[in-house]
Structure 1
Amino acid sequence: MQQIAVQPKLLTFAEFAQWKPEGSCYELHDGVPIEMPQPPGEHEAIKGFLTNEIILEYRRLNLPYFVPNQAFVKVPEAESAYLPDVLVLNRLNLVHEPLWAKMATVTLGESIPLVVEVVSSNWRIDYLTKVKDYEEIGIAEYWLVDYLGLGGRRFIGNPKQPTIFVHELSDGEYQVTAFRDGDRLVSPTFPGLVLTVREILQAGLGNS
């Protein structure tokens, strides 16, 4: 007997938020729940290092920002929601977020000064899907940290090498700058931040 594949039911974000098992790590991609695998140690070390550096900088500047432990970024008019590796939120704009109080979810670019994704094995999501969606939301700045040089050669060149891309929103579109090796990262949101790509990579290796 021929088996017929059954198309899984697509979920709305509200259904996904109600369904998601407590303590689990899922994102919603076009209505499909995607379980996020446990990341390697180097990934988490870089994420932790960047989180600490960013927090120190916005505290130094006395800005009303914070980094939530687990909050969703939902794409407007779409059933997609992401859990960025580092999400910087502006406390003052959360009163305008309809999903924040009950679901710890933001949908407005004005609420998100900066988002950081540390590239995983499924690099196309970070390089293609999230770039498009974060741009649509209007997030002012997006860092894509490809510490293993996993992205396509059209992005990081040949031979591949670790690269950090800073996407700056300008007239509704991202302008992208690539940083490598000893380059100092230039952040429009935090121009006083002093970080090189080499320092970030060394943090992943436990050498910071």
Structure 2
Amino acid sequence: MTLVTDRFIQPTPLSFEDFIAQYGDDDRYELIDGELFDLEPTGPHVRVASPQGMEVAAGIGQWLNCEIVQQEFNYFIPHRCLIKPLASGTGFRPDMIVLDRDALSGEPLWSSQPVVTLGSTIKFVAEVVSSNWQNDYARKFEDYALLGIPEYWIADYQGLGGEFFIGRPKQPTLTVCILSEEGRYERQILRGDQPIVSAVFPNLNLTAEAVLRTGR
């Protein structure tokens, strides 16, 4: 989920521990480099946004959950989760995340709070683009790759991203990022009835339009 404002909410840097204590259960806030941001979800993030009664992130979660069950993957989609890169004052709150149950035993914080710190625990993450698209296309694109998250989707159902990322004219776009052996994301820019080729869910039968139309 993207940030709606660039302004500081707190005048001084906030530690991750203080962030968890004050805002850990509040899906409205995210911490980036010690700065607290109000996500202020609006529109399809918080209301029924399609004829099927699903928002974009929930729709992605529903399709992937079906794959998890059908393929008998030992994965799950948590109701709430923060991503905290180790030794950083950051707590990303992704719109949708898939975790590997087998890897949770190695997570130092999971037994006491829904926080993951290791990319090996995360199989998939998705962000739904809103006003501050830069974080999804740039900051999180880099940080999620550094963590080694195998697959990252950027669902830009309004076509808000910069022309460098989605081209011109701007239009609804699904960016599917697959981690290469070199640890870099290779991007697929998808629209309309173009099929999604997923590395984590290879049997997924889904088009970009099916994902993006849930927000329109």
Q: Is the 8 A contact 1:86 1:117 kept in 2?
A: yes
Name the SS for the 1:50 alignment partner. Answer: helix
Equivalent residue, structure 1, for 2:3: none
- Calculate percent identity across the aligned residue pairs: 39
Which whole-Å CA distance do the structure 1 matches of 2:68 and 2:24 have between them? 33
Structure 1: segments with no counterpart, 5+ residues = 1-6
Larger radius of gyration between Structure 1 and Structure 2: 1
1:187 is matched with which residue: 184, 191, 198? 198
Equivalent residue, structure 2, for 1:84: 94
Q: CA deviation digits over 1:7-38, x for unaligned, max 9?
A: 81211211211122754521101101112103
Q: CA deviation digits over 1:140-190, x for unaligned, max 9?
A: 110011111100001111101111111111121111111111101111111
- What is the root-mean-square deviation of aligned Cα atoms in Å? 1.6
1:147 is matched with which residue: 141, 147, 157? 157
Which deviates more from structure 2 when the two are superposed, residues 97-106 or residues 16-25?
Answer: 16-25
Which whole-Å CA distance do the structure 2 matches of 1:143 and 1:113 have between them? 12
Equivalent residue, structure 1, for 2:31: 28
Structure 2: segments with no counterpart, 5+ residues = 1-9
Equivalent residue, structure 2, for 1:116: 126
1:41-190 paired onto structure 2 within 5 Å: 41=44, 42=49, 45-170=55-180, 171-190=182-201
Could you state the TM-score of these two structures normalised by the residue count of structure 1? Answer: 0.90
Name the SS for the 1:88 alignment partner. Answer: strand
User: Which is bigger in relative contact order (C-alpha 8 A, separation at least 6)?
Assistant: 2
2:21 is matched with which residue: 18, 22, 43? 18
Name the SS for the 1:116 alignment partner. Answer: strand
Q: Is the 8 A contact 2:173 2:212 kept in 1?
A: no
Q: CA deviation digits over 1:48-102, x for unaligned, max 9?
A: 1111000000110101111111110112221111111110000110010001111
Could you state the TM-score of these two structures normalised by the residue count of structure 2? Answer: 0.87
